[in-house]
Amino acid sequence: MFAAIGTSEWTKKRLQWATRLLHRDGLDLSTKTRRDNYWRDRLYNSVDGKELRECHRTNLSTRWVDSNAFKIPGRDYVQHIHTRINCLPTAVRVSRGVRRAGRDVKCRAGCLETETAAHVIQNCHRTHGGMVRRHNTVCHVLAAGLRRKGWSVDEEPLIPTREGNRKPDLVCCKEDIVTVVDAQIISAVSSLNDSHRRKKQYYANNPDMTPKLVENYGVERKNVQYTSCTVSWRGVWSSNSEADLLRMGLTKSVLCSITTRVVQGSHTNWTRVNQMTGTTHRRPMARQGIG
């Protein structure tokens, strides 16, 4: 009976159908590893998935999705996921596939930029206050966590230099070590580790920063360190930034709480854009009358 079923025309067609599904773009996807790699590459090469390509470098970027999901209210969790996968409605997204020539996809707030989720969350004038609040929340979480680990933390000290005043988010002192920590919530279009390195160099390459810190905190020059808290607006971490903060004694649970606060703040910014009506007059205005 089984032999008859195996040689039937229906079975052969189903096997051929299954075989076709296991081959895409000329690739053999007959194993789970190959299928996982194929769909991962498809995601990271897409418009919405490009900024997630560094997620695999640290589980801080994904930990909240499953292991810590029970701590997040259901409504917030859905909003976090919408932000993470970049499916928030914007002028560009809702016109995808049906965009006509001449359709205006500029920001509704009057900006001259295309209205993408990245723009309205990170750059739009309507969300400036939300960006500041999100940034400050991250700094407060870092400061509280470091104080619990025995660090003395000064928040936003003003340090005058020949290149201008510098105002790092946190200057942390413990025993004979001083560490400058500056937070940034950015786009992940370029490498997050490169952005982390540039943020460190912004302070480390200033010839007056280290001498000023040595003078103010009474430590040796070799014990002055610089690092950053670098996270994308979609909750993806710089792996080098994570490593530096863990070496300072912060726990992964503290850093994971920063991830969810960043994503929540990003969604709040998107909501703010849709609730506000303020516009800026950067766009050329039609002239009326004479003169």
In this predicted model, what pLDDT tens digit does every residue of 181-212 receive, in sequence order?
999 999 988 899 999 999 999 999 999 999 99
Collapsed DSSP state (helix, strand, coil) of residue 246: helix
pLDDT value, residue 21: 83
pLDDT value, residue 285: 46
In a domain, 162, yes or no: yes
In a domain, 55, yes or no: no
Domain that holds residue 210: 135-258
Total count of domains within the chain: 1
pLDDT value, residue 124: 92
In the 3-class helix/strand/coil scheme, how is 77-95 assigned residue by residue? HHHHHHHHCCCCCCHHHHC
Tell me the pLDDT band of 27, cut-offs 50, 70 and 90: confident
H helix runs in 22-101, sequence order = 32-44, 63-66, 74-84, 91-94
In a domain, 234, yes or no: yes
Q: What are the structure tokens assigned to 41, written together?
A: 């590459």
H helix runs in the chain, sequence order = 2-6, 9-21, 32-44, 63-66, 74-84, 91-94, 117-122, 128-148, 192-204, 209-217, 239-247, 252-275
Average pLDDT over residues 43-68: 88
In a domain, 281, yes or no: no
Q: Considering the entire predicted model, what is its pTM? A: 0.85
Do 272 and 89 touch, CB atoms closer than 8 A? no
CA distance 231 to 239: 10
In a domain, 285, yes or no: no
pLDDT value, residue 85: 92
Average pLDDT over residues 52-76: 87
In a domain, 218, yes or no: yes
Other CB atoms within 10 Å distance of the CB of residue 124: 25
In a domain, 113, yes or no: no
CATH number of the domain within which 160 lies? 3.40.1350
In a domain, 67, yes or no: no
